[in-house]
Amino acid sequence: MTFTTFMQHLVNSISLGSLYALIAVGYTMVYGILRLINFAHGEVFMFGSYMAFFAMTTFGMPWYIAFIIAIILTCIFGMLIEKAAYKPLRDAPRISIMISAIAASFLISNLGIVFFGGIPVTFPRPDIFDIRIVIGGVSIISVSLFIPVITAVALVILLYIVNHTKTGTAMRAVSKDYEAARLMGIDVNRIITFTFAIGSSLAAVGGIMWALRFPALIPFMGIMPGLKCFIAAVIGGIGNIKGAVLGGLILGFGEIMIVAFLPELSGYRDAFAFIFLIVILLFKPAGLLGKNIAEKV
């Protein structure tokens, strides 16, 4: 393998890894607060890219307006899912909440088939994202450069919100101790809704960039990335935003490099994430950046 092809793979893996990271953050935030795998997160991601698609094609909006509208709609959509499928089960056993999440995920992707159709549609790529840049033999499409930058900006904003605002402090409090936070007068339901809103907006940003990178949209497109990004969140240490970013980058890097270095294993590309997950769960169950918490009786 020459240096140029390696650089080519490196660029690809960073852009894929940033996409994973962006979606993984949504999982990790919801898990941190509700202790719930939001199975429907992949569907939120799908919804975001479809909204951008319809805004651009059916309504003929310019891409920047279309993207903003898509993010707003997806944000509302995520809050609605929480209200409908998770809120009524706040005090139910965890298995019930998880089944509800699985049902919601299936419901949304199949509603997607009903309303958006089962045939893949092609996402139009605005010119600015479609410039081919050649640096020292490495050919990059401009969207691959935009993705890490946009991810970084989104994460900086997110970390600011979480660490330096009042709502962010409340979010951290709820995730640390749900009951105590409620007793201290924090409106837990409002914080949960807010968490879903942020997670869904990030999923929308991820979905739009995913569609720019891989322009074929189908209603089931959210399932695989959804699972992988949850795995990324677990690898990094669930509940930990920086961990989710690290996990996403590792996953993107691993997937691309396995195919690059061991082409005969390319059929196993999708298995990589799951194998990695199991190895991590066995040797470092709290994830790479997570803290081990002893179980209380």
Residues that bind another protein (CB under 8 A): 35-37, 85, 88-89, 92, 94-96, 98-100, 102-104, 106-107, 110-114, 118, 219, 223, 227, 230-231, 234, 267-268, 270-271, 273-275, 277-278, 281-282, 285, 297
Q: Which stretches of the chain are DSSP H helices?
A: 3-34, 41-57, 63-81, 94-116, 142-164, 166-176, 178-183, 188-213, 223-236, 241-261, 269-283
- Minimum CB separation from another protein for residue 282, in Å? 5
Question: Residue 120 carries which DSSP code?
Answer: -
- Minimum CB separation from another protein for residue 110, in Å? 4
Query: Closer to another protein at the Cβ: 16 or 37?
Result: 37
Contacts 24+ apart (CB under 8 A), 85-94: 85/40, 86/34, 86/36, 86/38, 87/189, 87/192, 94/35, 94/36
Burial 225-256 (b: 16+ CB within 10 A, else e): bbbbbbbbbbbbbbbbbbbbbbbbbbbbbbbb
Place of tokens 């600011």: 160
- Minimum CB separation from another protein for residue 17, in Å? 19
> Collapsing DSSP states into helix, strand and coil, what is residue 239?
coil
Query: Closer to another protein at the Cβ: 206 or 287?
Result: 287
- Minimum CB separation from another protein for residue 191, in Å? 21
Query: Closer to another protein at the Cβ: 137 or 285?
Result: 285
- Minimum CB separation from another protein for residue 234, in Å? 7
Query: Closer to another protein at the Cβ: 63 or 272?
Result: 272
Query: Closer to another protein at the Cβ: 43 or 73?
Result: 43
